[in-house]
């Protein structure tokens, strides 16, 4: 079970939002590359970047900050990025620049043909981010709820050849209210590709609950607000996860 620190970028700074609301952002760092190195030093095995401005604009907006992170981290650990990635040229630019995984969210739901093409052109690099509330998928920076069931869409995308699925319960994200373990496990059990849990991680109890179910196909968990507020000690949490899933 890997713990994946999230670095959310808004106007070139590291921030956290509450339930995806751009007006409810807290700045946690002015230098994204410094933040990235901090998590690497604490034992992170992957980083999760989100271009928040890009997610709302539908095109990359924090490219220089993202580039600085990739240069700082180098080949040390894989980095994944989501937020406003809607065309193959953007994917190519990021992959060529050293990004290991590209996360496609809204565009996967609205333009499945694009996702199919991305999987075909960049096999092994594409992750789908499914954001949901009460089992229904949301798009456009969480502002629109669709009628799509999470599991149905995830199965379809699995057939396209995506690497894994990041599942976020948007009712909990940024609220420190606890991961929706039940829904995450249900999705993981329905798929043969790994699922990464996201949204609402509150503390060590969540890590222990997820580790107990790691065998169900949950590969990791994205750590957001909790590691910035100090509710979760990242280094200790990763060590604990290693203990619990070592066999």
Residues with catalytic function:
8, 131
CB 97 within 8 A of CB 134: no
Alpha helices in the chain (DSSP H): 32-41, 52-57, 63-73, 88-96, 106-110, 112-121, 150-160, 181-190, 204-211, 225-229, 234-245
> Which residues is 132 bridged to in the sheet?
137, 169
Four-residue CA torsion sign, 226, 139, 189, 113:
negative
Distance of alpha carbon 133 from alpha carbon 96, whole angstroms = 34
> Of how many residues is the chain composed?
247
> Which residues is 195 bridged to in the sheet?
165, 218
What backbone torsions phi and psi does residue 55 show, to the nearest 5 degrees? -60, -35
List Cβ neighbours of 12 (8 Å cut-off, separation of 6 or more).
32, 62, 64, 65
């Amino acid at each position: 079970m890997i713990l994946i620190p999230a670095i959310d970028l808004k106007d070139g700074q590291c921030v956290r939002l509450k339930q995806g609301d751009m007006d409810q952002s807290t700045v946690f760092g002015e230098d994204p590359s410094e933040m990235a190195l901090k998590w690497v030093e604490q034992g992170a095995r992957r980083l999760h970047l989100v271009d928040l401005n890009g997610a709302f604009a539908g095109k990359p907006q924090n490219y220089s900050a993202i580039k600085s992170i990739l240069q700082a981290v180098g080949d040390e650990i894989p980095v994944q990025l989501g937020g406003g990635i809607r065309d193959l040229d953007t994917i190519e630019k990021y992959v060529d620049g050293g990004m290991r995984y590209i996360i496609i969210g809204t565009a996967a739901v609205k333009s499945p043909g694009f996702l199919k093409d991305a999987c075909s052109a960049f096999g092994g690099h594409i992750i789908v981010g499914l954001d949901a509330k009460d089992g229904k998928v949301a798009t456009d920076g969480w502002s629109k709820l669709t009628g799509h069931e999470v599991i149905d869409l995830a199965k379809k995308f699995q057939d396209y050849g995506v690497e894994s699925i990041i599942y976020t319960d948007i009712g909990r994200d940024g609220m420190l209210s606890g991961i929706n373990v039940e829904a995450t496990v249900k999705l993981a059990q329905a798929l043969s590709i790994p699922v990464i849990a996201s949204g609402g991680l509150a503390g060590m109890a969540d890590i222990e609950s997820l580790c107990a179910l790691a065998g169900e196909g949950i590969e990791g968990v994205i750590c957001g607000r909790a590691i910035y507020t100090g509710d979760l000690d990242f280094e200790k949490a990763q060590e604990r996860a290693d203990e619990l899933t070592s066999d």
